[in-house]
Amino acid sequence: MLRAPLNCLGIVVLAGLVVGCNTPHRVGKVPKESPTAQAKEPAPSPRPLPAGSAEGVPESLLHEYEAREPASAAEIATWQLPFQAKRIAVALLTLAAKDDLAGLPAVFTRHARWGIPDRREFDARPIFADGGREFFDTFRDAASRFARKEAFFCPPVVPPAAQIYVRNGAEPMWCAYLSKDGLDVLAFKFVYENGSAKIDYIGLQPTRATAGIAARKGPMPPPMTPQVKRGTGPVGPFMSAGGETIPLQIERRDGPPGGNPPNPAGALAPGALAGAPGTPAAGSPAPATTPAPATAPTPAPAAEKKPTTAPATPAPPPGH
Protein backbone atom coordinates (compact mmCIF):
# COMPACT_ATOMS: atom_id res chain seq x y z
CA MET A 1 0.00 0.00 0.00
CA LEU A 2 2.90 2.37 0.64
CA ARG A 3 4.61 1.66 -2.70
CA ALA A 4 2.16 3.63 -4.75
CA PRO A 5 2.50 6.87 -2.78
CA LEU A 6 6.29 6.49 -2.86
CA ASN A 7 6.15 6.03 -6.58
CA CYS A 8 4.04 9.14 -6.92
CA LEU A 9 6.43 11.08 -4.68
CA GLY A 10 9.36 9.88 -6.74
CA ILE A 11 7.66 11.02 -9.88
CA VAL A 12 7.09 14.47 -8.38
CA VAL A 13 10.73 14.70 -7.26
CA LEU A 14 12.00 13.58 -10.64
CA ALA A 15 9.72 16.05 -12.34
CA GLY A 16 11.08 18.80 -10.12
CA LEU A 17 14.65 17.88 -10.99
CA VAL A 18 13.86 17.95 -14.65
CA VAL A 19 12.24 21.35 -14.33
CA GLY A 20 15.20 22.61 -12.29
CA CYS A 21 17.67 21.46 -14.90
CA ASN A 22 15.81 23.34 -17.57
CA THR A 23 16.08 26.57 -15.60
CA PRO A 24 19.10 28.72 -16.65
CA HIS A 25 21.54 29.38 -13.79
CA ARG A 26 22.79 33.00 -14.20
CA VAL A 27 22.95 34.11 -10.63
CA GLY A 28 26.20 36.07 -10.09
CA LYS A 29 27.49 35.52 -13.66
CA VAL A 30 27.73 37.95 -16.59
CA PRO A 31 27.67 36.40 -20.06
CA LYS A 32 30.70 37.24 -22.20
CA GLU A 33 30.08 38.73 -25.57
CA SER A 34 32.11 37.62 -28.53
CA PRO A 35 34.63 40.14 -29.97
CA THR A 36 32.62 40.35 -33.16
CA ALA A 37 29.54 41.31 -31.23
CA GLN A 38 31.29 44.16 -29.42
CA ALA A 39 30.43 47.50 -30.94
CA LYS A 40 33.45 49.45 -32.19
CA GLU A 41 33.69 53.16 -31.65
CA PRO A 42 33.08 54.87 -34.96
CA ALA A 43 36.00 56.89 -36.32
CA PRO A 44 35.39 60.61 -36.19
CA SER A 45 34.17 61.87 -39.49
CA PRO A 46 36.52 64.33 -41.24
CA ARG A 47 35.70 67.97 -40.87
CA PRO A 48 34.63 69.92 -43.93
CA LEU A 49 37.12 72.11 -45.71
CA PRO A 50 37.67 75.56 -44.23
CA ALA A 51 35.87 78.36 -45.98
CA GLY A 52 38.12 79.90 -48.60
CA SER A 53 39.23 83.50 -48.27
CA ALA A 54 41.37 86.01 -50.15
CA GLU A 55 42.53 84.27 -53.32
CA GLY A 56 40.96 80.99 -52.18
CA VAL A 57 37.48 82.10 -53.30
CA PRO A 58 35.47 80.33 -54.70
CA GLU A 59 37.78 77.30 -54.37
CA SER A 60 41.01 77.09 -52.46
CA LEU A 61 44.16 75.03 -52.75
CA LEU A 62 42.63 72.30 -50.57
CA HIS A 63 39.83 71.71 -53.07
CA GLU A 64 42.42 70.65 -55.63
CA TYR A 65 43.54 67.70 -53.47
CA GLU A 66 40.33 66.74 -51.70
CA ALA A 67 39.77 63.74 -53.99
CA ARG A 68 43.40 62.54 -53.95
CA GLU A 69 44.46 59.39 -52.14
CA PRO A 70 47.05 59.72 -49.37
CA ALA A 71 50.57 58.62 -50.20
CA SER A 72 51.40 55.05 -49.25
CA ALA A 73 54.35 54.06 -47.11
CA ALA A 74 55.94 52.31 -50.10
CA GLU A 75 55.79 55.50 -52.14
CA ILE A 76 57.07 57.71 -49.31
CA ALA A 77 60.18 55.54 -49.03
CA THR A 78 61.09 56.36 -52.65
CA TRP A 79 60.83 60.15 -52.48
CA GLN A 80 63.95 61.96 -53.68
CA LEU A 81 65.14 65.54 -53.84
CA PRO A 82 65.21 67.86 -55.68
CA PHE A 83 62.92 66.18 -58.22
CA GLN A 84 59.93 65.27 -56.02
CA ALA A 85 59.64 68.35 -53.81
CA LYS A 86 56.15 69.21 -55.05
CA ARG A 87 54.97 65.63 -54.63
CA ILE A 88 55.86 65.83 -50.93
CA ALA A 89 54.03 69.14 -50.56
CA VAL A 90 50.98 67.68 -52.34
CA ALA A 91 51.00 64.74 -49.91
CA LEU A 92 50.71 67.17 -46.99
CA LEU A 93 47.95 69.15 -48.71
CA THR A 94 46.07 65.90 -49.32
CA LEU A 95 46.19 65.06 -45.62
CA ALA A 96 44.98 68.58 -44.80
CA ALA A 97 42.11 68.34 -47.27
CA LYS A 98 41.03 64.99 -45.82
CA ASP A 99 41.53 66.18 -42.23
CA ASP A 100 43.88 63.23 -41.65
CA LEU A 101 45.92 64.20 -38.61
CA ALA A 102 47.26 60.68 -38.11
CA GLY A 103 49.14 60.78 -41.42
CA LEU A 104 51.40 63.73 -40.51
CA PRO A 105 54.36 61.73 -39.10
CA ALA A 106 54.81 60.03 -42.48
CA VAL A 107 55.66 63.26 -44.33
CA PHE A 108 57.53 65.17 -41.59
CA THR A 109 60.87 64.62 -39.91
CA ARG A 110 60.89 63.57 -36.28
CA HIS A 111 61.80 67.05 -35.04
CA ALA A 112 59.93 69.09 -37.66
CA ARG A 113 59.00 72.66 -36.74
CA TRP A 114 56.79 75.45 -37.98
CA GLY A 115 56.88 79.23 -37.73
CA ILE A 116 56.91 82.38 -39.85
CA PRO A 117 57.99 82.20 -43.53
CA ASP A 118 61.64 83.08 -42.88
CA ARG A 119 64.55 80.82 -43.76
CA ARG A 120 66.19 81.78 -40.48
CA GLU A 121 63.28 79.97 -38.76
CA PHE A 122 62.57 82.59 -36.14
CA ASP A 123 60.15 81.63 -33.32
CA ALA A 124 59.97 78.05 -34.61
CA ARG A 125 57.96 75.53 -32.60
CA PRO A 126 57.84 71.73 -32.75
CA ILE A 127 54.97 70.46 -34.84
CA PHE A 128 54.29 67.39 -32.72
CA ALA A 129 54.43 69.09 -29.32
CA ASP A 130 50.65 68.59 -28.97
CA GLY A 131 50.30 65.80 -31.49
CA GLY A 132 50.22 68.27 -34.37
CA ARG A 133 46.70 69.61 -33.82
CA GLU A 134 47.55 73.33 -33.52
CA PHE A 135 49.80 73.27 -36.56
CA PHE A 136 47.30 71.21 -38.56
CA ASP A 137 44.43 73.63 -37.96
CA THR A 138 46.63 76.64 -38.75
CA PHE A 139 47.95 75.01 -41.92
CA ARG A 140 44.44 74.23 -43.16
CA ASP A 141 43.38 77.83 -42.65
CA ALA A 142 46.48 79.17 -44.39
CA ALA A 143 46.09 76.81 -47.38
CA SER A 144 42.47 77.93 -47.82
CA ARG A 145 43.73 81.45 -48.65
CA PHE A 146 45.50 80.29 -51.84
CA ALA A 147 43.85 79.75 -55.22
CA ARG A 148 43.02 76.24 -56.34
CA LYS A 149 45.62 76.29 -59.14
CA GLU A 150 48.30 78.20 -57.23
CA ALA A 151 51.79 77.75 -58.64
CA PHE A 152 54.48 75.98 -56.66
CA PHE A 153 57.81 77.81 -56.81
CA CYS A 154 61.14 76.00 -56.47
CA PRO A 155 64.31 77.82 -57.53
CA PRO A 156 66.46 75.75 -59.88
CA VAL A 157 69.30 73.96 -58.16
CA VAL A 158 72.25 74.94 -60.33
CA PRO A 159 75.00 74.18 -61.14
CA PRO A 160 74.54 70.42 -61.27
CA ALA A 161 77.17 70.03 -58.57
CA ALA A 162 74.78 71.75 -56.13
CA GLN A 163 72.22 68.99 -56.67
CA ILE A 164 74.64 66.53 -55.12
CA TYR A 165 74.52 68.46 -51.84
CA VAL A 166 70.72 68.16 -51.78
CA ARG A 167 70.56 64.55 -52.89
CA ASN A 168 73.03 63.29 -50.29
CA GLY A 169 71.33 65.23 -47.48
CA ALA A 170 74.14 67.72 -46.89
CA GLU A 171 72.00 70.80 -47.68
CA PRO A 172 68.26 71.55 -47.44
CA MET A 173 65.98 72.71 -50.24
CA TRP A 174 63.34 75.45 -50.00
CA CYS A 175 60.13 75.83 -52.03
CA ALA A 176 56.95 77.83 -51.54
CA TYR A 177 53.45 78.69 -52.66
CA LEU A 178 53.30 82.44 -53.32
CA SER A 179 50.09 84.41 -53.63
CA LYS A 180 49.63 86.54 -56.72
CA ASP A 181 49.69 89.77 -54.72
CA GLY A 182 52.80 88.73 -52.78
CA LEU A 183 51.13 89.07 -49.37
CA ASP A 184 50.93 85.37 -48.51
CA VAL A 185 53.61 82.69 -48.38
CA LEU A 186 53.45 78.99 -47.62
CA ALA A 187 57.07 77.86 -47.37
CA PHE A 188 58.49 74.32 -47.24
CA LYS A 189 61.94 73.18 -46.18
CA PHE A 190 62.86 69.71 -47.44
CA VAL A 191 65.62 67.47 -46.08
CA TYR A 192 66.51 63.80 -45.98
CA GLU A 193 65.82 61.61 -42.95
CA ASN A 194 66.49 57.87 -42.85
CA GLY A 195 67.04 57.83 -46.60
CA SER A 196 63.69 59.41 -47.49
CA ALA A 197 62.88 63.02 -48.34
CA LYS A 198 60.71 64.70 -45.70
CA ILE A 199 59.46 68.16 -44.66
CA ASP A 200 61.51 69.68 -41.86
CA TYR A 201 59.99 73.17 -41.58
CA ILE A 202 56.77 74.94 -42.60
CA GLY A 203 56.67 78.74 -42.75
CA LEU A 204 53.31 80.47 -42.83
CA GLN A 205 51.35 83.45 -41.53
CA PRO A 206 48.47 82.55 -39.19
CA THR A 207 46.60 85.55 -40.55
CA ARG A 208 46.99 87.08 -43.98
CA ALA A 209 49.16 90.19 -44.15
CA THR A 210 47.57 93.43 -45.24
CA ALA A 211 50.81 95.03 -46.44
CA GLY A 212 54.23 93.94 -47.60
CA ILE A 213 56.06 91.61 -45.25
CA ALA A 214 59.16 93.31 -43.83
CA ALA A 215 62.13 91.08 -43.11
CA ARG A 216 63.22 90.92 -39.49
CA LYS A 217 66.65 92.19 -38.55
CA GLY A 218 69.37 89.71 -37.89
CA PRO A 219 71.91 87.59 -39.77
CA MET A 220 71.54 87.01 -43.45
CA PRO A 221 69.18 84.12 -44.25
CA PRO A 222 70.73 80.99 -45.73
CA PRO A 223 70.40 80.58 -49.50
CA MET A 224 67.36 78.79 -50.89
CA THR A 225 69.64 76.47 -52.85
CA PRO A 226 73.20 75.27 -52.10
CA GLN A 227 75.96 77.58 -53.25
CA VAL A 228 79.05 76.13 -54.92
CA LYS A 229 82.10 78.32 -54.39
CA ARG A 230 85.45 77.79 -56.00
CA GLY A 231 88.76 79.29 -54.93
CA THR A 232 90.86 81.53 -57.14
CA GLY A 233 94.22 80.13 -56.09
CA PRO A 234 95.88 76.88 -55.03
CA VAL A 235 94.88 77.35 -51.36
CA GLY A 236 91.17 77.47 -52.24
CA PRO A 237 88.37 79.18 -50.32
CA PHE A 238 89.76 78.09 -46.94
CA MET A 239 92.24 80.98 -47.04
CA SER A 240 89.92 83.31 -48.92
CA ALA A 241 88.82 86.65 -47.50
CA GLY A 242 86.62 89.11 -49.29
CA GLY A 243 86.73 87.25 -52.58
CA GLU A 244 90.53 87.44 -52.78
CA THR A 245 92.88 84.58 -52.12
CA ILE A 246 95.56 85.13 -49.51
CA PRO A 247 98.89 83.84 -50.81
CA LEU A 248 100.48 81.06 -48.83
CA GLN A 249 103.28 82.47 -46.69
CA ILE A 250 105.94 80.30 -45.03
CA GLU A 251 107.53 81.57 -41.85
CA ARG A 252 111.19 80.84 -41.43
CA ARG A 253 112.13 79.32 -38.08
CA ASP A 254 115.42 78.51 -36.39
CA GLY A 255 116.51 74.90 -36.51
CA PRO A 256 117.02 72.70 -33.45
CA PRO A 257 120.22 73.14 -31.40
CA GLY A 258 123.16 71.31 -32.94
CA GLY A 259 121.54 71.02 -36.34
CA ASN A 260 122.84 72.14 -39.65
CA PRO A 261 122.39 75.81 -40.44
CA PRO A 262 119.60 76.62 -42.88
CA ASN A 263 120.49 76.51 -46.52
CA PRO A 264 119.86 79.90 -48.14
CA ALA A 265 119.08 78.16 -51.41
CA GLY A 266 116.65 75.68 -49.81
CA ALA A 267 112.90 75.37 -50.35
CA LEU A 268 112.01 77.55 -47.34
CA ALA A 269 113.96 80.53 -48.57
CA PRO A 270 111.74 83.55 -49.23
CA GLY A 271 110.69 83.61 -52.85
CA ALA A 272 111.88 80.06 -53.57
CA LEU A 273 109.38 77.48 -54.78
CA ALA A 274 109.62 73.93 -53.55
CA GLY A 275 110.16 71.49 -56.35
CA ALA A 276 111.50 74.10 -58.81
CA PRO A 277 114.29 72.94 -61.10
CA GLY A 278 117.66 73.34 -59.49
CA THR A 279 116.17 73.76 -56.02
CA PRO A 280 116.91 70.97 -53.50
CA ALA A 281 113.98 69.45 -51.63
CA ALA A 282 113.34 70.44 -48.05
CA GLY A 283 115.51 68.51 -45.60
CA SER A 284 118.08 67.37 -48.21
CA PRO A 285 121.75 68.31 -47.71
CA ALA A 286 122.99 71.29 -49.60
CA PRO A 287 125.02 70.43 -52.69
CA ALA A 288 128.77 70.98 -52.49
CA THR A 289 129.89 74.13 -54.16
CA THR A 290 133.00 74.08 -56.41
CA PRO A 291 135.21 77.15 -56.06
CA ALA A 292 135.60 79.11 -59.26
CA PRO A 293 139.09 78.90 -60.90
CA ALA A 294 141.37 81.86 -60.41
CA THR A 295 141.71 84.08 -63.44
CA ALA A 296 144.68 86.27 -64.34
CA PRO A 297 144.10 89.95 -64.26
CA THR A 298 143.29 91.40 -67.62
CA PRO A 299 145.99 93.88 -68.80
CA ALA A 300 144.91 97.40 -69.31
CA PRO A 301 144.51 98.33 -72.98
CA ALA A 302 147.47 100.23 -74.54
CA ALA A 303 147.22 103.90 -75.11
CA GLU A 304 145.72 104.65 -78.42
CA LYS A 305 148.24 106.16 -80.87
CA LYS A 306 147.29 108.83 -83.28
CA PRO A 307 148.18 107.96 -86.91
CA THR A 308 150.89 110.11 -88.53
CA THR A 309 150.26 111.59 -91.96
CA ALA A 310 152.94 112.03 -94.68
CA PRO A 311 153.43 115.53 -96.13
CA ALA A 312 151.55 116.21 -99.28
CA THR A 313 153.53 116.02 -102.59
CA PRO A 314 153.35 119.22 -104.64
CA ALA A 315 151.51 118.92 -107.89
CA PRO A 316 153.74 119.00 -111.08
CA PRO A 317 153.78 122.22 -113.10
CA PRO A 318 151.54 122.28 -116.11
CA GLY A 319 153.13 121.22 -119.43
CA HIS A 320 155.26 118.48 -117.94
User: C-alpha angle with apex 175: 173 to 178, nearest 5 degrees?
Assistant: 165
What pLDDT does 303 receive? 55
Distance (Å) of CA 151 to CA 148, 154, 208:
9, 10, 18
DSSP string, 132-147: THHHHHHHHHHHTTSB
Distance of CA 83 to the CA centre of its chain: 14
Model confidence over 78-129: pLDDT tens digits? 999 999 999 999 999 999 999 999 999 999 999 999 999 999 998 899 999 9
Separation of alpha carbons 301 and 298, rounded Å = 9
Give residue 201's pLDDT band: very low, low, confident or very high (50, 70, 90): very high
> How buried is residue 104: exposed, middle or buried, by Cβ count under 10 Å (0-12/13-18/19+)?
buried
The helix (H) or strand (E) run that includes residue 19 is: helix 3-21
Model confidence over 22-75: pLDDT tens digits? 555 555 555 565 555 455 566 678 888 899 899 999 999 999 999 999 999 999
Task: Tell which wins on pLDDT, 8 or 204.
Answer: 204
Separation of alpha carbons 86 and 174, rounded Å = 11
Separation of alpha carbons 196 and 244, rounded Å = 39
95 touches 103 (CB < 8 A): yes
Separation of alpha carbons 240 and 207, rounded Å = 44
Separation of alpha carbons 114 and 96, rounded Å = 15
User: Cis bond leading into 257, ω under 30°?
Assistant: no
- Is residue 15 over pLDDT 50? no
Options 3.40.50, 1.10.10, 3.30.700, 3.10.450; CATH for 57-203 is 3.10.450
